[in-house]
Structure 1
Amino acid sequence: MNTESTPAPDFGLSLDQCWTLLETEVVGRIALIVDGHPEIFPVNFALERRSIVFRTAGGSKLWAAMTAKPVAFEIDGYDAHEQQAWSVVARGEAQLIESQQEKDAVDQQLLEPWQPGDKDYYVRLAPKAMTGRRFKVNRPDMWATRLSDPRRASFE
């Protein structure tokens, strides 16, 4: 008897499907290199002209934008109804938005910082590459799965 489990199929997402999923979220993670090592920061974001925009104060995220280092941006989620998880990753270079006209266009997307304090710098990531995937998740073991695991919701 074969006891090995068959891996769940992994479905690659089209570019349009990736953008659609990005439109459904408001928080993602920006990954960049700081002092020679990777750092990941949660940011709330908006989409404007097929780019990802966030606001920040001075610091590591702004530094990455100023030095045009490559960055990655990631969101993920879980659809309890379909019992599928998904992930989207965008890669490119971050750029500081300096034009007031461009800042006004971003403000029309209602991008308001969540964290208190001045977030006067607007940063844009126009992805040079974007990938996404969706996959069916394993049915949870109801006795051994944490109560906070979102997979439980579709079986309870």
Structure 2
Amino acid sequence: MNTTTPPPNFQLSIDQCWVLLDSEVVGRIALIVDGHPEVFPVNFVLQRRSIVFRTAGGTKLWGAITAKPVAFEIDGYDSHEQTAWSVVARGEAELIEDQADKDAVDELLLEPWQPGEKNYYVRLAPKALTGRRFKVNNPDVWHTRLADPRRASFE
């Protein structure tokens, strides 16, 4: 194998993307705010094939409901398989206003991590959902940062 050829990416199916989304609790919402990109970490739940998070009034809320489109991303690393993965959802965010819908989300235990009032519920129903998984390079144990998760397979 030619060492200059990058390893193949393995595209994930939509169902695989949903399974990975369901395995995480924190993701990043990417918005355009005042003409430039902003990325906000949010904890989230899945409800009816959509991503839901809570927020306070402010930049994140305003950007989420006025920025068209928005993106949401999660990623992870499987030390046993030595693979990394990434899932990206794209679509439009909307404010959930119906109390029954909010109650249904609350039943999924969407509790904000950050202190303060987080009374606004935002839903992203993806129009595009893509993901990929790829084999990571073996770490050079002597030159890899201690915090690099690839080291776990050697320790």
TM-score range relative to shorter protein:
over 0.9
1:90 equivalent to 2:99? Answer no
Q: Does 1:57 align with 2:56?
A: yes
Answer whether contact 1:32 1:40 (CA < 8 A) is retained. yes
Partner residue in 2 for 1:140: 139
**Letter of the aligned partner of 1:153 in structure 2?**
A
Quote the Cα distance in structure 1 between the aligned partners of 2:142 and 2:49: 44
- Asked if 1:78 corresponds to 2:40, the answer is no
Q: CA deviation at 1:3?
A: 7.7
Measure the CA separation in 2 of the matches of 1:133 and 1:4. 21
CA pair 44-92 structure 1, distance change in 2 beyond 3 A: same
Residue of structure 1 in register with 2:23 after alignment: 24
The match for 1:130 is 129
Structure 2 distance, partners of 1:35, 1:131, is 27
Tell me how far apart the structure 2 counterparts of residues 61 and 116 of structure 1 sit (CA, whole Å): 16
Greater shift after overlay, 123-132 or 65-74?
A: 65-74
| Native 8 Å contact 2:14 2:129 kept in 1 | yes
SS of the aligned residue for 2:75 comes to strand
% identical equivalent positions: 79
SS at match of 1:87: strand
Output the CA distance in 1 between the equivalents of 2:134 and 2:58.
36
TM-score (norm 2): 0.96
| TM superposition shift of 1:8 | 1.7
Residue type at the aligned position of 2:153? S
Q: After TM superposition, which residue ranges in structure 1, 4 or more long, deviate above 3 angstroms? A: 2-6
2:152 aligns with: 153
Matches within 5 A, 1:114-125: 114-125=113-124
Residue equivalent to 1:107: 106
Q: Which amino acid aligns with 2:84?
A: A
Aligned to 2:7: 8
List runs of 5+ in structure 2 lacking aligned partners.
Answer: none
Uncovered stretches (5+) of structure 1, i.e. residues with no partner: none
Letter of the aligned partner of 1:31 in structure 2? A
TM-score by length of 1: 0.96
Check whether the contact 1:8–1:138 (CA below 8 A) recurs between aligned residues. Answer: no
SS in 2 for 1:106: helix
Q: Label 1:5 to 1:155 Cα distance change in 2 as closer, same or farther (>3 A).
A: farther
